[in-house]
Amino acid sequence: MKSLSQKIIRFLIVPLQVATVWMIFLLTLWISGGIAGGYPAFLMSVAIAGIFLWPRIRQGTRRAVIWSGMGLLLALVPLVIVLVPLASSSLPALAADKSVQLWATHDGRHVAVYRYSAAPANDRHMALVFAHGGPGAYLRDFDRNFFASFAHAGFDVVIYDQFGAGRSPLGDPTTYTHENNVRDLAAVLARVDKPTVLIGQSYGATLVTSALSEEEIRKHVTHVILSEPGRLPGSTESTAKSMSEKTTLAPDASETPSRAVIAKVAAPRALLANFLPRENRFVKQEELINLYTADVQRLLIAPGFCKGDTTLLNSFKAEPFNLKANVAINRDALAAPTPDLRKMKAPVMLLLGECSYIPRGLAMEYFGTYSIKRSQRILGVGHILWGNPRGQAMTRDAIIRFIENAPAALPNDPTAATANRFVDQGR
């Protein structure tokens, strides 16, 4: 029995040493903040591997030395792989766009703003401000084109790339927080300084909800529109199907990723960078931005359209998507307080797409935070309601009717009372 236990110990000792080398690498990487690209952590792992191997060299048999040496060498190979950059850390220059304005927000931050002035003949003396999704994303060309059309309907349209992505400047990763995004939005609303229709899509709805907890922000807002909202601030993560899986029956345009795309999104180096704290310097944000090329971004955006309806998807032009900002801000939003806005004066409308890939339970949570006056389910579109000409026309009409307090062209569906049935029916 003793002989058997000794054999088991001998068999397990090398795998345990390999695991220890990896743990030392991760721990040193964490404690050191990823300085010097993680090489100090790697050298520490090499030293630990040498310490494990030395007694075998001095006292062990040749076979034991070879077995241990090969095991520890193989332990170091994955660490070498994660040290190799996945892309350049130099960002290519974006093509000039004279329509972009840089607006100062707070603490030296700026955001890239697109402003479309109201048509003089139809001027409502109101603004429309849009907060896009992501986070870490930007205004795509079809977003800009859709919201620019509201200028013809008399709105002063102000839309912007959130800080750290698109045409907005990068910042220190420690500044990528949900609270800082709220402060950016507050600064934009203050500069616009008009009665404002505030629209948030996906994470943008999460951002808008947190922002509206502040009276100083609410005073600017006359109407709130939540388009395909993402997770409610402070929402508890759940494995329930309605909160974690696509529930709509209408198929979306999700695509099977190519091997090249899988190699990028599942790269151990990128996954490790997302696991580490935002202040960790192991992988530069510029490298991850360059890693998320147009083919990767297409994979992320495709589910926002309905199956077979990808004209805009095929023509969209990718700009910088910031993975570090995305991961860090999403974590923050989960920890943010959930406001109670049921007594807010501004009326609220919820807009949903027929083939949305977002779990419907996430949107239904907003009935507990707002007194939602009107809900509209737009047929033939998904998470991106303006993903085709029909969706653009129906969404624009729904928004303007809501602002004008005119009867809706579509049923008021779902409501707080019918929310559970709406989800169960796959709508």
Q: How distant, in Å, are the alpha carbons of 287, 295, 310 from that of 144?
A: 27, 21, 17
Q: How far apart are CA 309 and CA 180, in angstroms?
A: 36
d(CA 310, CA 254): 10
**pLDDT range class, residue 237, cuts 50, 70, 90:** confident
Q: Find tokens 């404690």 and name the residue.
A: 31
DSSP code per residue over 26-74: HHHHHHHTTGGGGHHHHHHHHHHHHHHHHHHHHHS-HHHHHHHHHHHHH
Mean pLDDT of 224-248: 94
The single residue listed with the structure tokens 């997770």 is: 231
Residues 67 and 120 in one domain: no
Taking the model in full, what pTM does it have? 0.93
For the chain, the domain total comes to 2
pLDDT band at 74 (very low <50, low <70, confident <90, very high): confident
75 and 108 both lie in a single domain: no
- Of 14-18, 226-230, 239-243, minimum mean pLDDT range: 14-18
Report the Cα 254 to chain-centroid distance in Å. Answer: 17
Q: Does 113 lie in the same domain as 40?
A: no
- Shared domain for 65 and 197, answered yes or no, is no
Tell me, yes or no, whether 79 and 152 share the same domain: no
Q: Are residues 17 and 121 in the same domain?
A: no
Task: Judge whether residue 1 has pLDDT over 80.
Answer: no
- Position 253 pLDDT exceeds 80: yes
pLDDT, position 5:
59
pLDDT score of 58: 67
Joined tokens for residue 383:
């998470």
Output the six-digit token pair for 206: 């999460």
Q: 92-149: per-residue pLDDT in tens?
A: 999 999 999 999 999 999 999 999 999 999 999 999 999 999 999 999 999 999 999 9
- Interval 33-59: pLDDT, tens: 999 999 999 999 888 877 877 776 666
CATH of the domain at 262: 3.40.50.1820
Domain stop point among 52, 83, 114: 83
Cα 427 from Cα 425, distance rounded (Å): 6
Residues 308 and 382 in one domain: yes
DSSP label at 221?
A: E
In whole angstroms, give the CA distance from residue 178 to residue 330: 8
Name the residue range of residue 22's domain.
2-83
73-79 long-range contacts (CB < 8 A, ≥24 apart) are: 73/49, 74/18, 75/17, 75/18, 75/21, 75/22, 75/45, 75/49, 76/21, 76/42, 76/45, 76/46, 76/49, 78/22, 78/268, 79/21, 79/22, 79/25, 79/42, 79/45
The predicted structure's pLDDT at residue 147: 98
Is 316 a domain residue? yes
Helix H or strand E encompassing 113? strand 110-116
Using one digit for the tens of pLDDT, what is the confidence trace for 394-403?
999 999 999 9
108 in a domain, yes or no?
A: yes
